[in-house]
Structure 1
Amino acid sequence: MRQVPTTHLLYLHGFRSSPNSTKAQVMARSVAASHPEVQWWCPQLPPSPREAIDMVMRGIASWPRDSMAVVGSSLGGFYATYVAGMTRCPAVLLNPAVDPARDLAHHIGTQVQWHDPSQQFYFRPEYIGELKALEVGQLPRPERCLAIVAKGDEVLDWREMSARYPGSRIKLLEKGDHALSDFERAHLDEVMAFLHLA
């Protein structure tokens, strides 16, 4: 396990989510309070997976690979897996989507953001192919990955999630939910410690 503290931290939100998500806000507050020197970036991701990853990879192009890290939730966990595969940086995955091309094929059409129903976007059929293009195999440094997986996830299959990351640290919750509603109380300290920010 790398012992270098994280200096640059990327947070990637899930489908229909935003930087205003509870987990993103909890992480942002924790980093700002305890590690104000850390560069924190939680962008609003565009609906197009290709555009989302292009924006993210441009944004982190100058980040130091040996001290950056990524946290991703749900679809953001899928994107974070791609980022970790490309940069070999540590990753924390929160109920990560394993096969979003399959799962989101049922969500083509107009979608509403969870945290601001006035914000709508259209999930286009071609985005499924864009998701498939972002699939990566086993992570090159699986020991640098922590996946928190809830058996009570009402959206994703915990068996798929926990099997997706062989060689990685899997925190398997007997209950829980997709949003990891107890994130701040039950998981934040472990995430910060994994990122050497404790």
Structure 2
Amino acid sequence: MITDIIYLHGFLSSPQSEKAQITKKYFSQFHPEIRVHTPTLPGVPNDAIAVVEDLLQVLQSANGHEEATKMDTPISVAFIGSSMGGFLSTFFAERLGCKAALINPAVTPFDLLQEYFGEHQNPYTSECFNVDETTVGMLRQLNVEKLNSQQNYLVLLQTGDETLDYRLAEQKYGTEYCRIEQGGSHAFDQFETRLDEISSFLLSKN
């Protein structure tokens, strides 16, 4: 039974992003028994992974798994991930065997970030970090080449995504598990209208 959902935001975003806030508000209103966590993810991939692992450890302890290691499965957790957060959610969903709902997920961010080499500042958190070959190497290490359980994913895609090619996600996650809308944008237009489907998928016992 799912008791906790972890929302992972995208590159140069934060828990203050519109989708993160809409998600928290939705579950607070319609599923108040579910705790939604929106950790602030650093720009360095390995640091972002460490933040989520620490959160998982806290949740495991709270659920009575005091002896669990960081990567043991807290069976009560699921993920929602947007863009880069979708890539990271896939990493954790595969490691933990849990469900994840992905919104316009980055499939090969290590290829995309080649165009973003240099220093960046997160507009929400003011964090400064560099994107370079080391960053690309970290992302390649986190990449899941082949999914163990495609049925654990619900993937929402819009063909008008100006940042990512939705067809890459369709190919990786499988057409059966993708919901493809014509038009839209990378931010995923009218995201709030899809939260009923997202919550039904994540909270179902199947």
Partner of 2:131: 124
- The equivalent position to 1:187 in structure 2, one of 175, 178, 194, is 194
Report what 1:108 is aligned to: 117
Alignment partners' CA distance in 2, 1:180 and 1:95: 7
Pick from 181, 185, 198 the counterpart of residue 177 of structure 1. Answer: 185
Structure 1 residues 88 and 168, CA gap change in structure 2 (3 angstroms): farther
| CA-CA distance at 1:137 after TM superposition | 2.5
CA distance in 1, matches of 2:194, 2:34: 20
**Count of aligned pairs between the two proteins:** 190
Q: Deviations over 1:89-136 (max 9, x none)?
A: 00000000011111012112222335x3x7242223111111111011
1:32-43 superposed matches below 5 A:
32-43=28-39
Aligned positions of 1:1-198 closer than 5 A = 4=1, 6-61=2-57, 62=60, 65-114=74-123, 116=124, 119-125=126-132, 126-166=134-174, 169-184=177-192, 186-196=193-203
Contact 2:120 2:131 in 1 (8 A): no
Distance 2:21 2:107 in 1: 24
User: Distance between the aligned counterparts of 2:122 and 2:195, measured in 1?
Assistant: 24
Q: CA RMSD, aligned part only?
A: 1.8
AA of the residue aligned to 2:139: L
Counterparts of 2:48 and 2:176, CA distance in 1: 25
Instruction: Could you tell me which runs of 5 or more consecutive residues in structure 1 were left unpaired when the two chains were aligned.
Output: none
Q: Which AA in structure 1 matches 2:106?
A: A
Q: CA deviation at 1:192?
A: 1.4
Q: Would you say the 8 A contact 1:152–1:178 is kept in 2? A: yes
What percentage of aligned pairs have identical amino acids? 35
Deviation at 1:167, TM superposition (A): 7.2
Which structure has the highest helix share of the two? 2
Q: 1:22 to 1:131 in 2, by over 3 A?
A: same
SS in 1 for 2:203: coil
